[in-house]
């Protein structure tokens, strides 16, 4: 089997930008990317032509393939170092800001729109911030460059062409099964097609591969630590309710510490005029997400409400904990997404089909099953979500309407954190670099992309 200079496991934003930065600076490097999913042109979701019903493709084209789950997100680039990951903890704030500017320029060069939402605070935005303060909400100022799902896919196709033309080899439908180690050094990777060897391996498997990565770390004694568990729901309301925030911020990052439990709840991944979607993981586990297009728009806005829980010893299974809660919802819905009206939730009753469709708001996830989230989510998380919605209602009146829809369960599978140095090399295995959402380091497109750039520069220093 051929030996490469660098093997990149996972073709999400971190892996793509690592490859981009490498070939941009070194034309002589032999680079292999192994990706579990399909190429961009073959990433088709049959749900869109099957009456809105998932047919359980393996692997799921929404969560795997070139550009990772980011290709089917709404393509938001968060330009604040405070949003989308923990890179400032490794690199410092100033360096992170400079790297975001550099990476943003790359996105612009490959076709990202020039306009930025929320770049400077206007008087209208200041009024919204005042309302947030009065409601005990922290508004994090985060300028956003919005690509849109279809435009993001075009952009990542161009990046694919760029690296391929410069000699990068990409194997799709090539899930890595295990790492090959020799003592405390990485030597390559193994999958069903054979063994692949390299002096340097970069693993950036995204959220879909987070569970595999943590199991591999456990098996090979690669150092990790338990991170925060983020579990919640995706809220959907009419665009009219969110108009002020949508028009002024596009996406407002709001954080609330709840009165009852003092838990942190945050808004995440807002999609004005967007669509709620479902994602399926390897064990046929359905979780909810959302996206929006640049051109195609719905009458609704959706965003996640995530409750952050930090567990202590002896707890060591945050990803399995999140999957367990998602499985409860799947059990009630035959592996579909559960939806409940907020009014039914606070009254302690199940949403029925008749109640669901008498609303002003029509669900954009057509195969969602009406049900009762109180049979799924722990009381503490439900209480946190209820208090967050009531706080948000003071900023955007109407959000706590009876007809506001809550879809469950939304879980973010980045809850274990691999231990790495400032260059993102494993602290326990030499020449093994770990990055992206799956490694617990980033939580969004921009910081994952920056993470890939940093790892490439570290590799260039040492190769």
The CB density around residue 151, as the number of other CB atoms within 10 Å, is 18
Residue 415 confidence (pLDDT): 67
Q: What is the pLDDT of residues 169-226, one digit of tens each?
A: 999 999 999 999 999 999 999 998 999 999 999 999 988 898 899 899 999 999 998 8
Secondary structure element (H or E) that encloses residue 94, with its range: helix 93-109
| 51 — pLDDT class (breaks 50, 70, 90) | low
257, two tokens: 């510490």
- pTM, rounded to two decimals: 0.83
Q: Measure the CA–CA gap between 321 and 300, rounded to whole angstroms.
A: 31
User: Can you name the CATH fold of 3-112+147-225+418-462?
Assistant: FAD/NAD(P)-binding domain (3.50.50)
Secondary structure element (H or E) that encloses residue 393, with its range: helix 379-393
Residue 320 confidence (pLDDT): 87
Of 120, 119, 141, 122, the closest CA to residue 132 belongs to: 141
Question: Helix, strand, coil: what percent of the chain each, to 5?
Answer: 35, 25, 40
| 324 — pLDDT class (breaks 50, 70, 90) | very high
Angle at 329 between CA 262 and CA 418, to 5 degrees: 60
Q: What is the pLDDT of residues 248-288, one digit of tens each?
A: 998 899 999 999 999 999 999 899 999 999 988 877 899 99
Angle at 231 between CA 225 and CA 234, to 5 degrees: 145
Residue 93 confidence (pLDDT): 97
Q: Which residues contact 399 (CB under 8 A, 6 or more apart)?
A: 235, 237, 241, 242, 389, 392, 393
CA-to-CA separations, 362 to 31, 237, 334, 396, in angstroms, rounded: 48, 9, 22, 19
CA-to-CA separations, 177 to 4, 194, 199, 216, 307, in angstroms, rounded: 18, 10, 18, 9, 32
CA-to-CA separations, 299 to 303, 360, 408, in angstroms, rounded: 14, 10, 21
Domain boundaries, the chain: 3-112+147-225+418-462, 130-141+228-412
Is the preceding omega at residue 409 within 30 degrees of 0, hence cis?
A: yes
Residue 454 confidence (pLDDT): 98
Residue 45 confidence (pLDDT): 75
């Amino acid at each position: 089997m051929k030996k490469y200079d660098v093997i990149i496991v996972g073709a999400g934003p971190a892996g793509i930008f690592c490859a981009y930065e490498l070939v941009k600076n070194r034309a002589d490097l032999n680079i292999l990317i192994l990706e579990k999913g399909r190429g961009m042109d073959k990433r088709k979701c049959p749900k869109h032509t099957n009456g809105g019903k998932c047919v359980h493709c393996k692997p799921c084209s929404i969560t795997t393939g070139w550009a990772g789950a980011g290709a089917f997100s709404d393509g938001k680039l968060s330009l604040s170092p405070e949003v989308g990951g923990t890179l400032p903890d490794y690199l410092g704030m100033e360096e992170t800001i400079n790297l975001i500017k550099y990476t943003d320029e790359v996105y612009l060069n490959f076709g990202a729109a020039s306009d930025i939402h929320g770049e400077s605070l206007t008087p209208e935005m200041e009024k919204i911030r005042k309302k947030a303060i009065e409601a005990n909400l922290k508004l994090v100022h985060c300028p956003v460059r919005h690509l849109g799902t279809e435009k993001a896919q075009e952009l990542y196709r161009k990046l694919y062409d760029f690296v391929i033309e410069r000699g990068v080899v990409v194997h799709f439908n090539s899930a890595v099964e295990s790492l090959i180690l020799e003592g405390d050094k990485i030597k390559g990777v193994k999958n069903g097609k054979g063994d692949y060897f390299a002096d340097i391996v970069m693993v950036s498997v995204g959220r879909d591969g987070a569970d595999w990565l943590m199991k591999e770390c456990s098996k090979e004694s690669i150092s990790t630590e338990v991170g925060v568990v983020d579990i919640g729901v995706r809220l959907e309301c009419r665009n009219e309710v969110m108009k002020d925030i949508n028009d002024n911020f596009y996406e407002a990052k709001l954080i609330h510490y709840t009165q009852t439990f003092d838990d942190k709840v945050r808004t995440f991944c807002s999609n004005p005029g967007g669509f709620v979607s479902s994602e399926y993981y390897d064990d046929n586990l359905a979780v909810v997400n959302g996206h929006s297009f640049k051109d195609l728009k719905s009458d609704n806005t959706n965003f996640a409400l995530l409750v952050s829980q930090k567990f202590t010893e002896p707890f060591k299974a945050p990803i399995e904990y999140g999957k367990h809660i998602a499985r409860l919802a799947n059990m009630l819905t035959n592996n579909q997404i559960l939806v409940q009206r907020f009014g039914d939730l606070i009254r302690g009753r199940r949403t029925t089909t008749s109640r669901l469709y008498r609303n002003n708001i029509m669900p954009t996830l057509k195969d969602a099953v009406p049900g009762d989230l109180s049979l799924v989510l722990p009381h503490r998380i439900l209480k946190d979500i209820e208090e967050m919605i009531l706080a948000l209602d003071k900023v955007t009146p109407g959000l706590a309407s009876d007809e506001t829809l809550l879809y469950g369960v939304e879980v973010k599978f980045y809850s274990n954190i691999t231990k790495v140095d400032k260059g993102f090399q494993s602290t326990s295995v030499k020449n093994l670099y770990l990055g992206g959402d799956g490694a617990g380091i980033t939580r969004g497109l921009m910081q994952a992309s920056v993470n890939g750039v940093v790892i490439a520069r570290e590799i260039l220093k040492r190769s």
